[in-house]
Amino acid sequence: MAFTQDRQFLEAIERSRHALLTFRSAWTADAVTSALALKRILEKRGKKADIVAENFNAPAALAFLPGIAEIKPRFHQLRRFTIELDISKIAVDELAYDHDGEKLRIHVAPKSGMYAPEHVTTAPGAFKYDLVVTLDTPDYASLGGLYRDHTELFFAQPTVNIDHDPANEHYGNINLVDLTATSTAEVLYRQFADAKEPFLDEDTATLLLTGMMAKTKSFRGAAVTPRTLSTAAELMAAGARRDQIVEQLYRTRTIPTLKIWGRALARLKYDPVTKLAWTVLVRQDFVHAGAKEDRLSDVIEELILSAPEADAVAVLYEQESPTAPGQTAGVCALVASERHGDALQLVAPLRPEGHRRLARVCLTGVSIIDAERRVKEAVAAALGKAAQQEKALAENKG
């Protein structure tokens, strides 16, 4: 009888000796905490596990997470190169090597006779990892250079794909994609809880609860279910430090962050037709607030919470020139949408970067007023197309 995906996952980690845990380069707190929790679970089982995510740099808000300093921004010694010498007929007497910075020379002295080129073979060695687990990652491309530069790894070893997003492409050999869950942390918890295996300690419970709270905005998201709240209660019963999570995620805002929030909220606009809420920030806003552009992700989160009737939110801002501090290099926009599920599609004509949850558009040679108009038009056009498609599908069903 074929195993279920859940059982296959448990079998895969049981067979593994050294697992790679990874997540998309445009990471979420849910991805980070889920990876850290799984690493702890695997290590308790006597397994080795490394977490690697492209260019990862831990933010101050997540510095309290146990083990976060162990997440690596790139691979280290992913695969060895093997040089094999046939010594079945000619034994080795001495072995030495030297290098000049450009070339490595290996010197082998035989006990008798001579070695010939046909005695030597070379080949790439085995990969360091025998299992790959991706978390909160919709597709391989989202891993960035980690996948692009090491594609062979992801096809040479079995891959487990753990997620909760409907946009997930089910690219793994084992796909644990639960659309009823609100976070990857919740999916991961259920995998082990349903198997009735001991796996929780205070740190693991804290990591999983952090992921759930971050993804649901402290359980204020529309997708929160009774099962989500039950899971949170079980994690707190296991020792999850909820007060610490709340303090670090929501009560450590700096004065500059609060100031830039205030300026953004003071200019908040809303279009009832497209249900788009947006605001604009000019360079002087950042100067007066003493804030940097990296605080804008917090502004987006605040807009989502402050405008629950909005289907999409956007922050347009004048981008600072990298070569001339204080000067404007262009206008950028951050666009997020939980209800439409794909922020990239909402502004597709403007060639956005990012991921489905948060798209980033940058325009040069335009004023912030013109950029505001173009973003609004792109969103309106995208929603119009979506409405037309829904109408066509309804007519076809009829």
Indicate the pLDDT class of residue 82, thresholds 50, 70 and 90.
Answer: confident
Looking at the structure, do residues 38 and 114 belong to the same domain, yes or no? no
Model confidence at 3: pLDDT above 70: no
Let me know whether 267 and 343 are in one domain.
yes
Residue 221's pLDDT band (cuts 50, 70, 90): low
CATH no. for residue 260?
A: 3.10.310.30
Please identify, among 234, 249, 264, the residue that sits at the C-terminal boundary of a domain: 249
Residue with tokens 């940097």: 292
**Whether residue 242 is found in the same domain as residue 297:** no
CB-based contact 50:35 (threshold 8 Å) = no
Confidence check: pLDDT of 230 > 60: yes
What does the pLDDT read at residue 89? 84
SS3 call for 98: strand
Once rounded to an integer, what is the mean pLDDT over residues 72-81?
84
Computed over every residue of the chain, the mean pLDDT equals: 87
Per-residue pLDDT at 106 = 85
CA distance 56 to 40: 19
What is the distance between the alpha carbons of residues 98 and 100, in angstroms, rounded to a whole number?
7
pLDDT, mean of residues 14-32: 94
pLDDT at position 45: 93
pLDDT value at 324 more than 50: yes
Least confident of 20-24, 28-32, 106-110, 275-279: 106-110
Quote the pLDDT of residue 1.
Answer: 41
Residue 248 has pLDDT above 90, yes or no: no
Q: Residue 333 has which token pair?
A: 């926009």
pLDDT at 388 (0 to 100): 59
Give yes or no: residues 270 and 359 share one domain. Answer: yes
Judge if 117 and 227 occupy the same domain.
Answer: no
* 333 and 261 in a common domain: yes
* pLDDT confidence bin for 274, thresholds 50/70/90: confident
Contact 140, 26 (CB under 8 A): no
Given this model, what pLDDT does residue 97 score? 84
pLDDT of res. 76: 87
H/E run at residue 95:
strand 92-99
Q: What integer pLDDT is reported at residue 298 of this predicted model?
A: 72
**69 and 133 share a domain?**
yes
How many domains does one find in the chain? 3
Q: Token pair of 104, please?
A: 């490595």
Contacts of 120 (CB under 8 A, 6+ apart): 83, 84, 85, 86
| Same domain, yes or no: 157 and 66 | yes
Which range is least confidently modeled, 40-49, 153-162, 231-240, 335-344?
Answer: 335-344
Q: Which two three-digit tokens encode residue 141?
A: 């491309």
What is the pLDDT averaged over residues 389-393? 56
More confident residue, 388 or 100: 100
Q: Which residues of 241-258 are buried (b: 16+ CB within 10 A; e: fewer)?
A: bbeebeebbeeeeeeebe
Output the pLDDT for position 385: 62
The verdict on 277 and 237 lying in the same domain is no
Domain that holds residue 284: 255-394
Q: How confident is the model at residue 182 (pLDDT cuts 50, 70, 90)?
A: very high
Q: What is the mean pLDDT of residues 149-161?
A: 94
Last residue of a domain, one of 187, 219, 249: 249
R_g (Cα) of the chain, nearest Å: 26
> What is the average pLDDT across 315-338?
81
Residues in the chain: 398
Residue 297 is predicted with a pLDDT of 74
Q: What percent of the chain has pLDDT over 90?
A: 47
Quick one: average pLDDT of 183-211? 92
Please tell me the predicted confidence (pLDDT) of residue 151.
Answer: 93
Q: Is the pLDDT reported for residue 393 higher than 60? A: no
Tell me: do 203 and 66 sit in the same domain: yes
The pLDDT, as a whole number, for residue 387 is 58
Judge if 209 and 324 occupy the same domain: no
pLDDT at 301 over 80: no
Domain boundary (65, 96, 125) is at 125
The CATH number of the domain holding residue 141 is 3.90.1640.10
In angstroms, rounded to a whole number, what is the distance separating the alpha carbons of residues 239 and 242?
9
What percent of the chain stands above pLDDT 70? 91
Comparing 253-257, 319-323, 390-394, the range with the smallest average pLDDT is 390-394
Same domain, 30 and 136: yes
pLDDT surpassing 80 at residue 269: yes
Tokens of 74: 């790139």
Instruction: Supply the DSSP symbol for 151.
Output: H
